[in-house]
Chains A and B, each alone.
Chain A
Amino acid sequence: MAFFLARRLLYLVPVLIAVSLLTFSISSLLPGDLAMTILADQATPENLAALRADMGLDQPIWKRYFIWLGHMLQGDFGRSFRTGQTVLQALVERLPVSIELMLLAQLGALSIGVPLAIICAVRSGGPFDRFMTGTAFAMLSVPTFLSAILLIYLFAVELRWLPATGYVPFAEDPLGNLRFMVLPAMTLALAEWPGIMRILRSDMIATLQEDYISLAKAKGLKPARILFVHALKPSSLTLVTITGINIGRLIGGALIVETIFALPGIGRLLVGAILTRDLVILQGVVLLVAAGFVIVNFIVDMLYAVLDPRIRHGHA
């Protein structure tokens, strides 16, 4: 286990360096002038030169990378030249919103996808299974923003049960917070459950044909125990894998959903930064989100080892 952990940790370092390089090159190598953007209308040749020198933009590119990396490693991710807020402040303020959204969404997707997958696997080939498999396939073709529009129309415009946009922090008004969160989380969950269901279903169908399931039946165990302990536990590995694969999609989806429902999360921070061309915020957020993504993937890998005794004992 320790060896496994060390190997994965070692792999993390080059990936993180590469992520920082890529983020840096997007903002430094691509056309577009930071100083020009900041000064906009007030740009005179003298102003520009002064600002460039001030920001170190006149230095050679490799030197700028190391200076920039140095700042990042010290936790100095820059300060917005629009709002004066530091990247870190902005992130700390908005991260809880995004995380709450993604957790609720994943919870929703699992609570739709897992039971459906189990029912379909047990009745595989039957009418319910065929209907749900078809539905899941069709749902995979519904973009997040489409289901958002549909849900807004249904629950906010027609039925008027839930607010279409807005947000209150959980600490201020827990119930109100959840009311604002329901539609965004449901939108994301609608996009996520088909993938979960499809993969878990085919995995469970394979598991249910295993000898150890026959033996569990021959042992006279209750059907619920066979299904949830003997069949679902081996498949839980698959669930972790899907969750891992889905994180990237989930982050992208959260970005769209936050914008549609006006939730003050990371996604909206990013879209706002793009629209106002707040490049410092943009760069910092991209770097931190990508780094966070890499680290979450690492944690998912570790979870794998916890769940599968074969990996834990170094048999894989």
Chain B
Amino acid sequence: MATLELDLAEEAVSAPAKGRRLGMLFWAATGWIIFVFSVAIFATMLPIPDPNAMDMLEKRAPFSAAHWLGTDGLGRDEFSRLIYGARISLVVGLCAPMIGLTIGGALGLLSGYFRGRAGSFVVGAMDVLLAFPPLILVLAVIAFVGQSILNLTLILGVLGIPAFMRVARATTLTLSRREFVIAAEALGASHARILLRELLPNVILPLFAFFLLGVAVTIVVEGSLSFLGLGVPPPVSSWGSMIGEGRESLDVAPRLAFMPATAMFLTVLSFNLVGDTLRALTDPRQGAL
């Protein structure tokens, strides 16, 4: 019908325009992520002061040649603390979703391919994990096992499993009804072969897009916990704890809170942008594959 033609036409009009508009932002975001990565990786080689060296004579110093971005309340160099803070955010932010990606992805793939009782059990178990308000669960566990980067990463990783599982399962369910899987089954391919050669390559792309969104969420959660003083233990610098410390001097030196805040916002936004763009491109339900 005429109305149907119209809907299709409208979708087609907006899609390329959107792609072009996101294009520039997408590359800017990718550039920022690469920049943060490089300074974090090469932090020890950069000609910057020790992030934990205190200079009690230069508390909250303004921008200068010695301290590019000034110093914090304990006279520590703000710029190197920002760079070392990026390391924490990235380590926790990348490793935790990696746990979710591997375990959740595998569970989702299996439960989506072999439907049936085991699949329903996995889904049910994940529902229970989702029944907890996530931040409360993290805090409860941290309270018992103690604050450390490893513990934090592990818990945030485990909490990500249900979400990754859902994405993997949904994608697998859609894909396993596609011709190429049915064809492989008809040709007598083994389960392992179908899973690894036919399904995995197609599931991994949407999962990777979701992984990037997971990185953004994890950086926020790590930041929130460190901000509250419940994340990485001091004196390790993390953007969250820097914002928390900067909060004490909002009236005299608001930049101490706002500089790490800006770094964090830009990084989270970049991961969200790149992840969201890739998600839109790789969603098999929209017939992109």
The short answer to whether A and B are in direct contact, CB under 8 Å, is yes
Interface residues of A (CB under 8 A from B): 14-15, 18-19, 22-23, 26-27, 30-32, 125, 137-138, 140-146, 149-150, 152-153, 157, 209, 247-248, 251-253, 255-256, 259-260, 270-271, 273-275, 277, 279, 282-283, 286, 289-290, 293-294, 297
Known A-B contacts A15-B127, A18-B131, A274-B230; the reply to A146 vs B265 at CB < 8 A is: yes
Task: Name the interface residues of B240-289: CB closer than 8 Å to any CB of A.
Answer: 240, 243-244, 246-247, 250-251, 254, 257-258, 261, 264-265, 268-269, 272-273, 276
**Is the beta-carbon distance between B141 and A259 smaller than 8 angstroms?**
no
Given contacts A15-B131, A137-B276, A293-B131, 10 further A-B contacts (CB under 8 A): A19-B131, A22-B128, A26-B137, A26-B144, A125-B14, A143-B223, A143-B268, A145-B240, A248-B133, A277-B143
Cβ contact of B134, chosen from A18, A252, A270, cutoff 8 A: A252
Which residues of A are found within 8 Å of B240, using beta-carbon distances? 145
How far apart sit A282 and B137, CA to CA, in the bound complex (Å)? 11
Interface-centre pick from B134, B143, B257 (highest chain A CB count, 10 A): B143
Which residues of A are found within 8 Å of B246, using beta-carbon distances? 149
Which of under 10, 10 to 19, 20 to 34, or 35 or more describes the interface residues of B?
Answer: 35 or more
Which residues of B are found within 8 Å of A253, using beta-carbon distances? 135
**Is the beta-carbon distance between A290 and B131 smaller than 8 angstroms?**
yes
Cβ contact of B132, chosen from A32, A125, A145, A290, cutoff 8 A: A290
**Is the beta-carbon distance between B128 and A15 smaller than 8 angstroms?**
yes
Which residues of A are found within 8 Å of B228, using beta-carbon distances? 145, 256, 259, 271
**Is the beta-carbon distance between A157 and B251 smaller than 8 angstroms?**
yes
Closest CB in chain A relative to B148 CB, distance in Å = 12
Which residues of A are found within 8 Å of B131, using beta-carbon distances? 15, 18-19, 290, 293-294, 297
How far apart sit A113 and B23, CA to CA, in the bound complex (Å)? 27
- The 8 closest A-B CB pairs, nearest first, are A252-B135, A141-B269, A18-B128, A251-B133, A274-B143, A141-B268, A143-B220, A30-B144
**Is the beta-carbon distance between B224 and A26 smaller than 8 angstroms?**
no
By beta carbon, the residue of chain A nearest B223 is: A143
Which residues of B are found within 8 Å of A152, using beta-carbon distances? 247, 250
**Is the beta-carbon distance between B132 and A293 smaller than 8 angstroms?**
yes
The yes or no answer to B113 lying at the interface (CB within 8 A) is no
How far apart sit A145 and B258, CA to CA, in the bound complex (Å)? 12
Cβ contact of A255, chosen from B136, B145, B268, cutoff 8 A: B136
Task: Name the interface residues of B115-146: CB closer than 8 Å to any CB of A.
Answer: 124, 127-137, 139-146
The yes or no answer to B164 lying at the interface (CB within 8 A) is no
How far apart sit A229 and B81, CA to CA, in the bound complex (Å)? 54
How far apart sit A179 and B240, CA to CA, in the bound complex (Å)? 27
Closest CB in chain A relative to B81 CB, distance in Å = 17
Which residues of B are found within 8 Å of A260, using beta-carbon distances? 247
The yes or no answer to B7 lying at the interface (CB within 8 A) is yes
The yes or no answer to B211 lying at the interface (CB within 8 A) is no
How far apart sit A271 and B138, CA to CA, in the bound complex (Å)? 12
**Is the beta-carbon distance between A153 and B224 smaller than 8 angstroms?**
no
Which residues of B are found within 8 Å of A294, using beta-carbon distances? 131
**Is the beta-carbon distance between B269 and A138 smaller than 8 angstroms?**
yes
Known A-B contacts A32-B146, A282-B143; the reply to A153 vs B250 at CB < 8 A is: yes
**Is the beta-carbon distance between A140 and B136 smaller than 8 angstroms?**
no
**Is the beta-carbon distance between A290 and B251 smaller than 8 angstroms?**
no
Known A-B contacts A18-B128, A271-B228; the reply to A255 vs B223 at CB < 8 A is: no
Closest CB in chain B relative to A34 CB, distance in Å = 9
Closest CB in chain B relative to A148 CB, distance in Å = 9
Which residues of B are found within 8 Å of A125, using beta-carbon distances? 14
The yes or no answer to B98 lying at the interface (CB within 8 A) is no
